[in-house]
Structure 1
Amino acid sequence: MANPETVFKKHDVNDDGKMSSKELETALKELDVTASPHLLKEIMAQYDKDKNGFLEFSEFKKVTADLKAIQAATVDDTYEIFKSFDKDGSGFIEQAELKDALAMMGIGNDENTIKAMMVAADTNRDGRVSIIEFAKIVGHGK
């Protein structure tokens, strides 16, 4: 993954030391993360700790650290995480399971966050996330 400081400086186009959601969108693309408008909104809400509508470098650095941790997961880790989310053993992660898993991890799990995450992960739009879709999100799917 690219150096967070380099990416931040490159995409902070007005050089004000803050990243708007539009600047964040282009920065994430450089990091090979395509974020829907809903997901961008939720990332901003989750990481903008001072609630000023922008990400300062320290906040952006946390975003990139979390993305790096997700990408560093091995294939076995990915499968184990998937199984832990798939509480009913159906082979899919449904919205309620995602909500519960995020709550257990202490991550925001309001309806907008869940919807944004499902939109990002559920590529075939069947309302649930398969192991293949999950693996693509964490970088282990083709």
Structure 2
Amino acid sequence: MAEAVFKKFDASGDGKMDAKELQAALKEMDVAPSKDLLKAIMAQYDKAPKNGLLELNEFKNLVADLQTIQNASVEEVLDTFTTFDKDKSGFIEPDELKEVMTSLGMGSDENTIQAMIAIADKDGDGRVSVAEFANIIGHGK
């Protein structure tokens, strides 16, 4: 599936997908990415040599991660939330998200963390509740 979607939206046919092509491909897969989410995805999945483009193998990694998230059970969602919520406050704060992302070897620069919080934080309080977390990964009401 990932390869077919990649080929369909690689408009230039150069084997690389820019942010505009990625946005169209994600919409095809029922993911409506914001501008901030696109930036965060590009930052996370564009591996060396970081060229601002996703190649097929990088796109496949993104699709695999999206499928894992969509297939997660409610129990797995809650387990993941509690892993992020280090102080057990019931919210994922930016510092907690940064700590987890760093420990996973994932993008943890300030812009990426702020983009991730902004994507999930629907009430605008600067942190992510369990309901917001569930909604962002497709397990909310």
Q: Give the counterpart letter for 1:84 in structure 2.
A: T
- Counterparts of 2:52 and 2:106 in 1: how far apart (Å)? 19
Deviation of 1:34 (Å): 2.2
Deviation of 1:137 (Å): 1.3
1:74-118 deviations in Å (ceiling 9; x for gaps): 100000110111111111111111111111211111101101101
Aligned equivalent of 2:70: 71
Residue aligned with 2:75, SS: helix
Amino-acid identity (%): 59
In the superposition, the TM-score normalised over structure 2's length comes to: 0.93
Task: Decide whether the 8 Å contact of 2:36 with 2:119 is kept in 1.
Answer: no
Task: Decide whether the 8 Å contact of 1:87 with 1:97 is kept in 2.
Answer: yes
Aligned equivalent of 1:33: 31
Number of matched residues? 140
- Unaligned 5+ segments in structure 2 are none
Match of 2:18 among 20, 23, 32: 20
- Counterparts of 2:50 and 2:134 in 1: how far apart (Å)? 32
- Counterparts of 1:89 and 1:47 in 2: how far apart (Å)? 30
Deviation of 1:51 (Å): 1.4
